Amino acid sequence: MVVFNPIRILVVDDEESIRRLMEKELNSMRRNVCSADSARHALELIERQQFDVIVLDIRLPDGDGIDLLEKFKQAIPDVEVILITGYGNVENAVEAMKLGAYDYITKPFTLDRVELVVEKAYQRVCLQRQNRLLRHTQTYHPLPQFVGRSSGVEHIQYLIEKVAPTNVPVLITGESGAGKDVIASAIHYRSQRAEQPLIIKNCGTLQKELMRSELFGYCKGAFTGANETNDGLITLAHEGTLFLDEIGELPLEVQAALLRVLETQTYRRIGDKYERQVDVRFLFATNRNLVEEARIGNFHEALYHRLNVFQINIPPLRERKEDIPLLVEYFLGLLGSGACPCRVSKSVMQCLMNYAWPGNVRELRNVIERGIILAENGIISESALPRELTQQSDSATTDVPLIPLTELEKRHIRRVMEWVDGNRSQAAGILGIGRKTLYRKLKEYELA
């Protein structure tokens, strides 16, 4: 279901008749209109609410519209301001446009003209927000799948379907590379917020000094270098989802501020006097043991209990190796060329199954991508694998001190037969024995 957000409009004018006319004519399914009769009242509203477009009379009894313009821009950086002016103040309105106003309307005006300018201003607001969101979002399949058929994966898929429609925070745990980001995007795109932004941030990539300002934003002049007001990730994620990966990397003082957001759905930008209301679904991920981190004082205990309302733990790939063939096929289709599809040989699949995968699914993807590049005639052979995979496979099948020589011979014959896809003539040639000898050994080792 597509969700359309109404345009949030603030009309600032000391004439009651104009305010009532604007509220009556502009209010609709697509627009929500608030009004203020003074500069003071308008400033109080924007400190507590988000607006997309402000229609502002250039002359107010307690303030000048041009002075208010800068304050509005500081409070809501991406708001667009439309000025209402008389013919005698057109020069002032043009000067205000140089300072950041979107457009001006001269009195007397028609409502059709106001509606047209408001709609165009809102389109510009949406474009600016979209450009900013692109820096923090990633492109996923519309309905991301956590690939696999093991019991662990089936349980994860069940939990995703149950928790996605709710608004509760979710803690996703597991080793690095296990697929925590895939689960986060799957939850978002199956939720009622699917048409709204999914903001993704790895807390481990942030400098400690910047974490608070990155999350909550800051006001102009809040600290050295704050030359303009900036919204944080929480503001960008309003009505959408904020996924914070490696949540254990946040400093304790930022954790305390985040706890307040979770409890009250309010936040305060650095240097701001007022708290703002926000509507955000939070998803968190970590490869740390947060219980132990809380015990030794590295993680806020109250925050842990608040974000651990619903936990999804991802088992490492080495504990669900039955999913490897499905993942291989998935990555071959995702990364390969449709015109020249690749496949892996049986010996390569055996190497993949024998490997411990310390880098989990991310490492498997990288191996398949490398294999596609080095494939010959559409087949990924052992020569296309990283050395650590073939070495481990060799050591797993040539542990001389622990197994009899006959078992070594049996394993070697099996590997050669798999390599040649069961062609006995080729296998005999590789092994350096006659075909009759090979037939006898296949029968003896029950490999026929």
* Predicted local distance difference test score (pLDDT) of residue 431: 72
**Residue 399: pLDDT above 70?**
no
Task: Answer for the pair 202, 245: CB distance below 8 angstroms, yes or no.
Answer: yes
151-313 and 319-444 have identical folds: no
**Residue 214: pLDDT above 60?**
yes
* Predicted local distance difference test score (pLDDT) of residue 389: 87
* Predicted local distance difference test score (pLDDT) of residue 339: 60
* Predicted local distance difference test score (pLDDT) of residue 298: 92
Q: Can you give the chain as a three-state secondary structure string?
A: CCCCCCEEEEEECCCHHHHHHHHHHHCECCEEEEEECCHHHHHHHHHHCCCCEEEEECEECCEEHHHHHHHHHHHCCCCEEEEEECHHHHHHHHHHHHCCCCEEEECCCCHHHHHHHHHHHHHHHHHHHHHHHHCCCCCCCCCCCCCCCCHHHHHHHHHHHHHCCCCCCEEEECCCCCCHHHHHHHHHHCCCCCCCCEEEEEHHHCCHHHHHHHHHEECCCCCCCCCCCEECHHHHCCCCEEEEECHHHCCHHHHHHHHHHHHHCEECCECCCCCEECCCEEEEEECCCHHHHHHCCCCCHHHHHHHCCEEEECCCHHHCHHHHHHHHHHHHHHHCCCCCCCEECHHHHHHHHHCCCCCHHHHHHHHHHHHHHHCECCEECHHHCCHHHHHHHHHHHCCHHHCCHHHHHHHHHHHHHHHCCCCHHHHHHHHCCCHHHHHHHHHHCCCC
Q: How many angstroms separate the CA atoms of 201 and 198, rounded?
A: 10
Q: Which CATH number fits domain 151-313: 3.30.930.10, 3.90.1140.10, 3.40.50.720, 3.40.50.300?
A: 3.40.50.300
For the chain, domain boundaries:
7-132, 151-313, 319-444
Per-residue pLDDT tens digits for 125-147: 888 877 766 666 554 444 567 88
Q: Does domain 319-444 have CATH number 1.10.8.60?
A: yes
- CA 217-219-225 angle, 5° bins: 95
Q: How many angstroms separate the CA atoms of 347 and 344, rounded?
A: 8
Q: How many angstroms separate the CA atoms of 255 and 234, rounded?
A: 14
Side-chain half-sphere of 337: how many Cα atoms within 13 Å? 9
Q: How many angstroms separate the CA atoms of 73 and 68, rounded?
A: 9
Q: How many angstroms separate the CA atoms of 313 and 323, rounded?
A: 16
Per-residue pLDDT tens digits for 367-394: 999 999 999 888 999 999 988 888 765 5
Task: Answer for the pair 69, 56: CB distance below 8 angstroms, yes or no.
Answer: yes
* Predicted local distance difference test score (pLDDT) of residue 393: 52
**Residue 426: pLDDT above 90?**
no
Q: How many angstroms separate the CA atoms of 287 and 313, rounded?
A: 10
* Predicted local distance difference test score (pLDDT) of residue 392: 62
Q: Whose CA is closest to 228, among 80, 71, 54?
A: 71
Written as six digits, the tokens of 256 are 């305390």
Written as six digits, the tokens of 27 are 């209010």
Least confident stretch, 54-63, 73-82, 240-249, 405-414: 405-414
Q: Using pLDDT thresholds of 50, 70 and 90, give the confidence band for residue 397.
A: very low
Whole-structure pTM value: 0.67
CB atoms within 10 A of CB 107: 12
Q: Using pLDDT thresholds of 50, 70 and 90, give the confidence band for residue 208.
A: confident
Per-residue pLDDT tens digits for 167-204: 999 999 999 899 999 999 999 999 999 888 899 999 98
Per-residue pLDDT tens digits for 69-85: 888 887 788 889 998 88
Select, from the ranges 71-75, 258-262, 439-443, the one with the highest average predicted confidence (pLDDT).
Answer: 258-262
Q: How many angstroms separate the CA atoms of 62 and 71, rounded?
A: 14
CB atoms within 10 A of CB 207: 7
Q: Does domain 7-132 have CATH number 2.40.50.140?
A: no
**Residue 164: pLDDT above 80?**
yes
Q: Using pLDDT thresholds of 50, 70 and 90, give the confidence band for residue 206.
A: confident
Rg of the chain on CA atoms, in Å: 31
Per-residue pLDDT tens digits for 304-324: 999 999 999 999 999 999 999
Peptide bond into 358 cis (omega under 30): no
Written as six digits, the tokens of 443 are 């029968």
Phi and psi (nearest 5°) for 253? Answer: -70, -30
Q: How many angstroms separate the CA atoms of 67 and 220, rounded?
A: 16
